[in-house]
Amino acid sequence: IRQAVELLTHRLDSLHDAHHAVMDCLGQMLWESQRSGKAPDGRAYVACVQRRATQD
């Protein structure tokens, strides 16, 4: 996760904006968990952060 956040920070040129993108992924993971009634999916969270770090 650290590597993805560092890449996202570089891509967005802002640690602050990178943190917001990561928090969006966290919120999405929690929303999905509450909606489905299942435990939070940490792998989905990490995958979301990695996607945001590598998308054009």
pTM of whole model > 0.95?
no
pLDDT at 55: 87
Give the domain ranges of the chain: 2-54
Confidence of residue 56 (pLDDT cuts 50, 70, 90): low
Taking the chain, what is the end-to-end CA distance rounded to the nearest angstrom? 19
**Can you give the length of the chain in residues?**
56
Q: What is the pLDDT of residues 9-24, one digit of tens each?
A: 999 999 999 999 999 9
Q: Is the dihedral of CA 38, 40, 42, 44 positive or negative?
A: positive
